[in-house]
Amino acid sequence: MKNNNWLSDVTLNGNTVELQPLIKEHAADLVAASSDGNLWNLWFTGVPCQETINSYIEFALTERDAGRSIPFVVYHKKDRKIIGSTRFCNATPENKRLEIGYTWYSKSYQKSSVNTECKLLLLNHAFESLSAIAVEFRTHWHNQASRAAISRLGAKQDGVLRNHAIDQDGCYRDTVVFSIIDHEWPVVLKNLKHRLSINRS
């Protein structure tokens, strides 16, 4: 049974993108989006392909129904298509904390304003609607692009979890943890709005 005590499905609407609740019927569109750049070949992240899309969606919806996650697809309004996915995850309502993760975009939309606007929508909902006291970001030690993008948002690095997980091939994963806390949100908001004002595409 779905836990609506803190998290519930919501559509977040921006100028360029709209974050829509993930449903099973998005499978084909997500595979098409990840095929732009063959993103599943990135060994340090988990982007779905044709063979894994069903389990990817099933896990996301299971976490949603448990009250720990809100998964979204990223819909590009001008181009009228799904270009990626992101989600709130690992939520602990009793501590008013959650994570923004599982984020990826079609290669054609990387290094554009899309990520900045998505994060603005998500962070605004977390701090303004959910009254979160902290929002985390986690990424693989070797995912340099993700680490740089998280830092540009205004998040601060909390530390590195050494041997945090074991990948499917047996390799150990070091995870870099960042966060934004509630009293930092006003200046982060100012930063994100400024970045969008100079880079709209």
In-domain check, residue 161? yes
> Which run of H or of E encompasses 83?
strand 81-92
Please give the backbone phi and psi of residue 115, each rounded to the nearest 5 degrees, phi first. Answer: -65, -40
Measured at the CA of 64, the angle between CA 63 and CA 69, to 5 degrees, comes to: 80
The number of distinct structural domains making up the chain is: 1
What's the rounded Cα separation, in Å, for the pair 142 and 111? 18
> Which run of H or of E encompasses 192?
helix 185-198
What's the rounded Cα separation, in Å, for the pair 34 and 50? 9
Which pLDDT tens digit goes with each residue over 29-50? 999 999 986 677 665 567 888 9
Residue 19 pairs in a beta bridge with 12, 74
pLDDT of residue 16 exceeding 70: yes
In-domain check, residue 6? no
In-domain check, residue 5? no
In-domain check, residue 3? no
| pLDDT given for residue 2 in this prediction | 46
Q: Residue 20: which domain range?
A: 12-198
In-domain check, residue 7? no
Query: For the domain that residue 44 is a member of, what is the CATH number?
Result: 3.40.630.30
In-domain check, residue 4? no
Burial (CB < 10 A; 0-12, 13-18, 19+), residue 173, is middle
Which pLDDT tens digit goes with each residue over 129-177? 999 999 999 999 998 988 998 999 999 999 999 999 898 788 898 999 9
117's tokens = 């606007």
In-domain check, residue 163? yes
Counting every residue written for the chain, the total comes to 201
Q: Where residue 13 falls among pLDDT bands split at 50, 70, 90?
A: very high
